[in-house]
Each structure stands twice: as C-alpha cells, then as structure tokens.
Amino acid sequence: MPMSALDPFGDRANDFRARLPEAVLALVASRDNSNGDLDNMPVLSGSWDTGFSYPDDWQDEGVLLKKLHLLTSLRRALEDAQNAGTDLLETLQSRPVGGDTQAWVDGLEWIQDQLDEIEQYQNQARGEATAVQEATWRLRRNKLGLGEAWVGGWTLGEGAFGTATGWYKRNDQDTIIDRIIVKESSDKHYGTGTPDRTYSWSDDPRDSTSRTSLPNEIAAMYSLRDHHASESVVAIRNSRLINAERRARIYMEYCPYGDLGKFSEWYWDTTVTLKTKEAWKDFHEQRADVKHRYLPEPFLWSVFESLAWSGLMMEQADNPIYHLDYKTANVLLGVESKDRYVGYPMAKLTDFGLSWIPDCSQEVDPYRQKHGSGTPFNSAPEQVPTIYSGDTMPRLMDASTNVWGAGIVMWSLIEHEEGDHRISWDHRNEISTPACRAFPQDCDPSPLETPDFRAAARRQYSQPLLDLIVRAVSYEQEDRPSFQELLDTIRDHTEGHPDQFDRAKGMRQKHSDSRTWSEGRYSMWGFLHEDKYALFAKLPNLPVPPKLDAKAWRTPPFRQDSVEDDGDDADEAPVGGGPWPGLRKRGKRGKKRARNDEDDADGGA
C-alpha cells in the first residue's frame, strides 16, 4: 500500500511522512554500500566458544569503520521514523465521525506494518553493527597485545606527541573488571638520538646492569612506580618500544575523572576569538567582573599535597627527574585515596614525555640542559632559554624547577588560566605564531616577574594557601621552598591540630561515608563528570565476551582504582603481555636490535 494510506490522517501524519523516507533512503544507502541487500551483508560465522571467522575485507580497520558509520546512520534514521510512527498511532485513538472508516483502519494497519518492518531492520542493523564493532576491536586488540575480553579504543586525549585511548576489560556478565589507558607516543617525543643516554633517553631502572635504555617518559614512570607515595603519579603497568617506527606504547592506570585542565579552560575559551589589541584591552578591563565557580579550598590543599609528594619522589630517585611540562592538563584525577581526602579524586602527575633525567654521576654542562621544553607561561625561569639578568651562563635546573611547576599548576587552578600570561621573561609564545607575536603577554598591562593572584582570588582563598603558592613560583630558585618544606607546611595547615586553624575544614580526615563529600560547599562532585566506566559496573550496549574459567577473571592486576589488590596476579600475564626490555646501548659491535612488539602482537591478558 503506498504512502497515500496516510491521507485520512491529514496533517497529523506529516511528521511520519517526512521521517519515513529518510529511513528508507538510509536503508537503500546501506544496501548500496554493502554491495547488496542487508540480508546478504557478510556476518561473522562461529560462536564465542568456537571462535569467529571474519570476511577478508574485515581485516581492514578503515573498511570496518566505514561499515560501522553507515550502520549507525541507518539505525538513527530507523529509530527516528519509528518514534514518529509510534507518536502518530498514539494520537489516532478514535475513528473520525463520518468519512471513510475503512480507509482509516487500513491506514492504521499500514502504519503498524511499517513499524514492524522498521523494527525488523533495526534488529538486523543492531546485530550487524555489533559484529562490525567486535571485528574492529579484534584488530586493535591484536595490535596492542590485549585479550578477547578487552573493548574500547576510544580517544581520551590527543597532543602533539601522541594519543591516549581507553580500554575496558569485561567478564562474561558484561561487567567491567579492569580498565587502562594506552598511550601511543610518536618519534617526535624521543628525538633522533640513540638509546645511549641523551636528552630523551636514560637508563632502564629495571636493569641493574645499566646496559639498556628507555625513553625518559617510560624510565621516569618505572622509577616512581614502587615508591611508597606512588599513588601521586599515574602508574605504568607495561610498555612497548616499536623501534622500527620509533614509537613507544605505554599501558597505564585509568583515571576516570579527566585532568585538571578542565578547571583552567575559561581563559582560553574566552580569549581564543580576540584578534585586536583593543579587544584584548577590553578583556583585561572587564575580567575582574567575571563570576567564576571556584574550587573548594580543601580540594586545592589535597592537590597541592599530591604534587608535593610526586615532586619529592622525583627528587629522591636514583637519578633526579625533572618533569619540565607541568600544567593542569598533565595532572589527572584518579579514584579516591584510601589515606587522606578519601572523598576527593586523587590528583596524579602524568606525561613525562618532555622530562629530563641527568646522570648524577656526571657533571652537568649548563649549556646542555633540556632548555626550552614545556608550555609557555608554565615553565620555570631556569627552564626557559634565557639567561638570568646579571648571569653569564644558564643556571642549573634542580628540584626547585619542579617546585615551580607544582606552584604554577596550583596558580592555574585558582585563576582559571593555564599559566600566568603576565610573565615578562617567557618569550617563547611570541615566536610561535604571528598572532602571538602581535600580542605579547596577551597585551596584559601588568607584566610580572613572579606569578601573583588577582583581587578576586585573594578574596576567595586563605592567605596561607596563596602565600605558599607564590613562594613556590618565586623567580629565584633559592627563594622557593623544598618539597619536604611544602609537605610539612601543607600538613601543618590541614591536619587539624588543636592549636592551629584547619584550612582543610576537617576534610583531610573525614570518613568516606560522610555526606560532606557529596553535598555542601566543600563537595567536588558538582565539578566532575560521572565515572561512566566504573569498576564492577555494567558495560552497556557492547558484545558479551566468551566465557572463560574463573581464574581468567580475577581482579585487575596492579593496585589501581579501588580494588583491594596490591600487585599483579602471579597466574595472570600483565596487561599487554609479559615485561619487555629497553633497548641495548651501543657497544663495540654497534647497537643491538630491539625486540619489536609488533612481531608478537596476539595474546595478552
């Protein structure tokens, strides 16, 4: 029966008339792009128990993603038409007085027939999309050395040097039992040197013979992993070096609440469209009137303490580690600590890709430090390739360089701006693009040598917190507190001593069951998105993996998240496969060939 079956319903059927052709066109497009009718589209053969076989063209991820896009569009169009038809039926509860009753009944039957057919195609498209998605995951899992139970690969973040994706491990009840971040770093991250100690490579801390090297990013994370305060740094769980492509892959702890950068985006979001000096002038004149949503002070103290712990670990490592890329975007928010501030997400330092690990057994040449690394307005003065006024050579970086970095992160959280653009001695941004050259210091009329707080922030937070941050970002290295002094001062202000005012308002020792964590002025949950992939939660709308024996579904290896598990299970391989060595350093016979993870991609936990 043609579309004229809707004529008895007049204008009330217009919505269904419009949406049904869209669904039909989407169906035709899907058929055309799958080389035949949907009924003949290739599907997986086999089962979870026996394994699947895949058509040849399903070995190409590009083909799979194209199919998935088409099927997604089809399902969306079918659902839209189904909703319109259902709504129409609900409005046609009574037959018309007079008129052709049979035509009315025939029209209702025609609508219902269309809805039944739509539902049939929906079910078919849903099953096809599931098969295509599983095939896509299979290709990606094989590349990463992950087992059949892992799904995901969704991008969590991208930068100039790499991409981070999220992966989630399911059991046969479709419950999440593990989750990781996989970071793929490009060759730009590691320079063009050899695996001998350079700016970007250092000794593998797992190798007591010092015969192998790792990129600094990986070496730093392994160095800090077993420290008693390691929860303040994103934990590495495994790594791979793909020598032929000069890439590295890092399997690391999953942090469900994103990074601190979300709290300093206001400045960028507001100024990205400013194209003239007059516009910048107006912005600076009016910014004091902006009503910000300030983070609770107890949470800021918790972040500061976590940054101090990670800094102290870097200072006490066998070879000191200088992060050199402190900024809010490089501090992730993991699950709650079990020792302090148990209702706040734990701040964890990450992204050691620009770090420098000098060999403490050798004297450092001031001119051969890793100058210029980092983000403009987020780097310590001695890190910037500009000699201090009155000096004849660059100053040596030391632990106070990391102190400055921790301080600028705290400053950024309070001022809602990533780095203080008033800094007068950091000119790197002025040579990056023509726009930056046109607006040095973003045309701010008040250039500074040391970052400081504006009046609005000073009204919002306590003087001890602000003063400690300003000390941390002092221009002179000798004026900055050590990390141990930072920790001592932070604890003095937050541990609730009877003779001293508690700047953390009791949140440091507050029990996890307290309602204060979820409501009231000190709660953080209004600032955070939901943990959509929480451990032991259901993973919706995804294929269920094969049933395995109970041993294969133990709790996640490593002490991440809130699982009561302090180490890798001896019976379960580490995520991504077994441990892999660093690269052999050059010897008399030349550089050894590195083992390549792409040579042994299948398998894994």
Tell me: the pLDDT tens digits for 154-163?
A: 888 776 667 8
Report the C-alpha gap between 505 and 515 in whole angstroms: 14
SS3 labels along 343-390: CCEEEEECCCCCCECCCCCCCCCHHHCCCCCCCCCCCCHHHCCCCCCC
286: left (phi over 0), alpha (psi -120 to 50) or beta: alpha
Tell me the CATH number of domain 257-523, given options 1.10.510.10, 1.10.3720.10, 3.40.1190.20, 1.10.1670.10.
1.10.510.10
Report which residue type is found at 530.
E
Task: List phi, psi (to 5°) of 437.
Answer: -65, -30
DSSP run (H or E) holding 250: strand 247-253
CA angle 288, 289, 292 (to 5 degrees): 90
The 3-state DSSP class for residue 144 equals helix
Range of 225-229, 269-273, 318-322, 587-591 with top mean pLDDT: 318-322
Does 285 score more than 60 pLDDT? yes
> How does strand 345-349 pair with strand 45-47?
unpaired
Which residue reads 């950091």 in tokens? 426
Does 552 score more than 90 pLDDT? no
Position 548 confidence tier, pLDDT thresholds 50, 70, 90: very low
Tokens of 387: 């000699």
CB 242 within 8 A of CB 252: no
Does 180 score more than 60 pLDDT? yes
Q: How many C-beta atoms surround the C-beta of residue 117 within 10 A?
A: 13
Range of 92-96, 121-125, 189-193 with top mean pLDDT: 121-125
Does 358 score more than 80 pLDDT? yes
Higher per-residue confidence, 22 vs 204: 204
Helices (H) and strands (E) in the chain — how many of each? 12, 12
Share of the chain above pLDDT 70, in %: 76
Strand partners for 238: 251
- Nearest alpha carbon to residue 605 among 576, 566, 579, 580: 576
Does 19 score more than 60 pLDDT? yes
CB 472 within 8 A of CB 482: no
Lowest mean pLDDT among 275-279, 283-287, 542-546, 582-586: 542-546
Task: Provide mean pLDDT across the span 78-99.
Answer: 77
Does 516 score more than 50 pLDDT? yes
Q: How many C-beta atoms surround the C-beta of residue 499 within 10 A?
A: 4
Tokens of 165: 């994706």
Tokens of 565: 């598990």
Lowest mean pLDDT among 121-125, 159-163, 166-170, 346-350: 159-163
Does 47 score more than 50 pLDDT? no
Q: What is the topology classification, in CATH, of domain 3-144?
A: Methane Monooxygenase Hydroxylase; Chain G, domain 1 (1.20.58)
What does pTM read for this prediction? 0.78
* Burial of 142 from C-beta contacts in 10 A (0-12 / 13-18 / 19+): middle
Does 435 score more than 80 pLDDT? no
Predicted pLDDT of residue 55: 55
Structure letter (DSSP) for residue 594 = P
99: left (phi over 0), alpha (psi -120 to 50) or beta: left
Tokens of 305: 């303490």
Strand partners for 244: none
Lowest mean pLDDT among 18-32, 272-286, 505-519: 18-32
Task: Provide mean pLDDT across the span 532-547.
Answer: 67
Which residue reads 């419009």 in tokens? 18
Predicted pLDDT of residue 562: 34
527: left (phi over 0), alpha (psi -120 to 50) or beta: alpha
Range of 191-195, 391-395, 449-453 with top mean pLDDT: 449-453
Predicted pLDDT of residue 1: 45
Residue-level length of the chain: 605
Task: List phi, psi (to 5°) of 505.
Answer: 55, 35
Strand partners for 185: 162, 248
List, in order, residues 6 or more apart from 120 with CB less than 8 Å away.
none
List, in order, residues 6 or more apart from 590 with CB less than 8 Å away.
none
Report the C-alpha gap between 78 and 480 in whole angstroms: 63
CB 356 within 8 A of CB 199: yes
Position 340 confidence tier, pLDDT thresholds 50, 70, 90: very high
- Nearest alpha carbon to residue 468 among 275, 301, 265: 301
Q: Residue 138, Cα to own-chain centre: how many angstroms?
A: 22
Does 93 score more than 70 pLDDT? no
Task: List phi, psi (to 5°) of 328.
Answer: -60, -35
Predicted pLDDT of residue 96: 60
506: left (phi over 0), alpha (psi -120 to 50) or beta: left
Listed by start position, the domains of the chain span: 3-144, 149-256+533-605, 257-523
The 3-state DSSP class for residue 499 equals coil
Tokens of 131: 């098969």
CB 457 within 8 A of CB 289: no
Report the C-alpha gap between 257 and 13 in whole angstroms: 45
Which residue reads 């400053």 in tokens? 411
Task: Write the pLDDT tens digit of every residue in 106-135.
Answer: 888 888 888 888 888 888 888 777 777 777
**What CATH superfamily classification does 149-256+533-605 receive?**
Phosphorylase Kinase; domain 1 (3.30.200.20)
Lowest mean pLDDT among 48-52, 394-398, 483-487, 508-512: 48-52
Biggest CA–CA distance in the chain, Å, is 101
Q: How many C-beta atoms surround the C-beta of residue 458 within 10 A?
A: 13
246: left (phi over 0), alpha (psi -120 to 50) or beta: left
Position 57 confidence tier, pLDDT thresholds 50, 70, 90: low
The 3-state DSSP class for residue 430 equals helix
